[in-house]
Amino acid sequence: MESGKDASALKEVRVLWEDRDSAALFKPPGLMVHPDGKSTEKTLCDFVVSRFPEAKDVGESLTLSDGRVVARPGIVHRLDRETSGVILIAKNQSAFLKLKKQFQGRTTRKIYNAFVYGRVGKEAGSINLPLGRSKGDFRQYAAPARARGEMREALTYFTRLEAKKDFSFLELIPKTGRTHQIRAHLKAIQHPVVCDRVYAKTKPCGLNFNRLALHARSITFKDREGKEVTVEAPLPPDFIEAKKIFDRLPE
């Protein structure tokens, strides 16, 4: 049975753009992209199958550690449960393979917004640190000094849009697509994302957030004809409210 929370989040999903091959959706915070094999709650996949039944058998399934197979209809990439914003889905296998190739070739462009703790000193820069599993917390990924096992290259560009004494508002462009990349990179430079309960466990949530303050604002990719398409997801209500609070803070 679906909980009231995930049922409510599912109702917030909306189509931002679509053509005959693919669609860009707004994913609200709190909604998982696909099942994790541990819970029965609704996911973005339920919306995809309901709205685009032709996508039911599109994509690649996920095999869990216990051997169970989880379907991921139409899912080309993912966002963390608490991250809001734009996500692409494929309506047919041909579109899935073409979009997947773009992600693997790093020709897609994703732009995120985030509120982070502290005043970021640089106006712009890059975080070029390989990531691996954290030595201290299996849920985290970390830079080499705090990681174990295989390290994978990871590069994130950032621009400081605004900064106050206690918080900064950033634009982030991940050039690679590692799990938790933005969150791990921002922790590595001592400016974790506000209300990140994995990477900033000891910090109180600020700016009235009760979820990770990370939003996938836009994505740029090429459609079937090779035309470049950019789709933008407007800031959700909690980001808009946080910005009002942020603007009233002392410099």
Q: One-letter amino acid identity for 73?
A: P
CB 197 within 8 A of CB 81: no
- Nearest to 164, CA basis, from 90, 245, 107: 245
The first and second tokens of residue 207, run together, are 């700016």
d(CA 132, CA 153): 9
Backbone angles phi, psi at 75, to 5 degrees: -80, 120
Active site residues per annotation: 80
d(CA 10, CA 71): 18
The first and second tokens of residue 36, run together, are 């994790």
